[in-house]
Amino acid sequence: MAAQQQELDEKNPFYELVVICSTSGQFDQTVNSFKDIIKKSKLVCIKDSELLDWIKKYQRRVLKYNAINEYINSKFKDPNEEMQRILEKKHFRNKQKEIEYISKKLQSYDWKTYPHRCLLILDDFASHPLLKNREQDMCRILKKLRHFNISVVICVQTAKSLSKDVKRILTDIILFPDCPKTISWNL
């Protein structure tokens, strides 16, 4: 997937955001091996206990971001369901106030690409409680992340350490031995 990383142009990588989730919540040795090769994308490290909350917040932001961009692309004429909800909630008195709100919201996101793409790296998630069985929230969310342009890389020592339930819900599995050292990532 990311072995031959695509670029949208010379300045913008395919994945604008790379999120590394580890049990330590900081840049440990494995994470540092990724850190050296990720030069163009914004790099964020989060703790595994904060992962579900982060994903849910990110999904809400992506929904709003996509709704705003679709509304702009329709020349402010055809709001989708999410944009309709935003417009009803804010009660804009005129188009100028609406455009100001949209401009400020897009500035606050500071995303350069549409659609916004994210690479989520789950470091050392072998037998992790979040991926224990398919009834866990994380397993259910994994199936839906592609709708939000989130690609997921699960780093484990061996594929045997992933539960059968998780292997069943994953649609694409690519195994790389010694991943950070052998792949040239252009992020």
Q: Looking at residues 143-163, what average pLDDT do you find?
A: 79
pTM exceeds 0.95, yes or no? no
pLDDT tens digit string along 121-143?
888 777 788 877 777 888 888 87
In-domain check, residue 12: no
pLDDT top residue among 6 and 94: 94
Q: Looking at residues 42-69, what average pLDDT do you find?
A: 93
Question: Measuring CA to CA, which residue among 23, 12, 75, 16 is closest to residue 45?
Answer: 23
Within 10 angstroms of residue 119's Cβ, the number of other Cβ atoms is 26
pLDDT top residue among 132 and 47: 47
Query: Is 37 in contact with 187 (CB distance < 8 Å)?
Result: yes
Give the range of the structural domain holding residue 136, as residue numbers without chain letter.
Answer: 17-50+116-182
Q: Are residues 142 and 65 in the same domain?
A: no
State yes or no: pLDDT of 182 exceeds 50: no
Task: Measure the CA dihedral 68/7/20/46, to 10°.
Answer: -30
Query: Is 4 in contact with 185 (CB distance < 8 Å)?
Result: no
Last residue of a domain, one of 109, 125, 143: 109
pLDDT tens digit string along 56-94?
999 999 999 999 999 999 999 999 999 999 999 998 888
Domain count, the chain: 2
Whole-angstrom Cα distance, residue 70 to residue 181?
40
In-domain check, residue 9: no
State yes or no: pLDDT of 8 exceeds 50: yes
In-domain check, residue 10: no
In-domain check, residue 56: no
Q: Are residues 84 and 103 in the same domain?
A: yes
Q: Looking at residues 173-178, what average pLDDT do you find?
A: 55
Q: What is the strand order of the sheet 42-47 is part of?
A: 42-47, 17-22, 118-123, 150-155
Q: Are residues 65 and 92 in the same domain?
A: yes
Q: Are residues 84 and 125 in the same domain?
A: no
Q: Looking at residues 161-168, what average pLDDT do you find?
A: 69
Query: Is 104 in contact with 98 (CB distance < 8 Å)?
Result: no
Q: Which residue has the tokens 């995303």?
A: 111
Whole-angstrom Cα distance, residue 30 to residue 45?
12
Q: Are residues 78 and 154 in the same domain?
A: no
Q: Are residues 31 and 120 in the same domain?
A: yes
Q: Which pair of tokens denotes residue 46?
A: 């989060």
Q: Are residues 22 and 66 in the same domain?
A: no
Q: Which pair of tokens denotes residue 33?
A: 């091996």
pLDDT at res. 154: 82
Q: Are residues 161 and 74 in the same domain?
A: no
Peptide bond into 180 cis (omega under 30): no
In-domain check, residue 33: yes
Band of pLDDT at residue 27, cut at 50, 70 and 90: low
Q: Are residues 68 and 33 in the same domain?
A: no
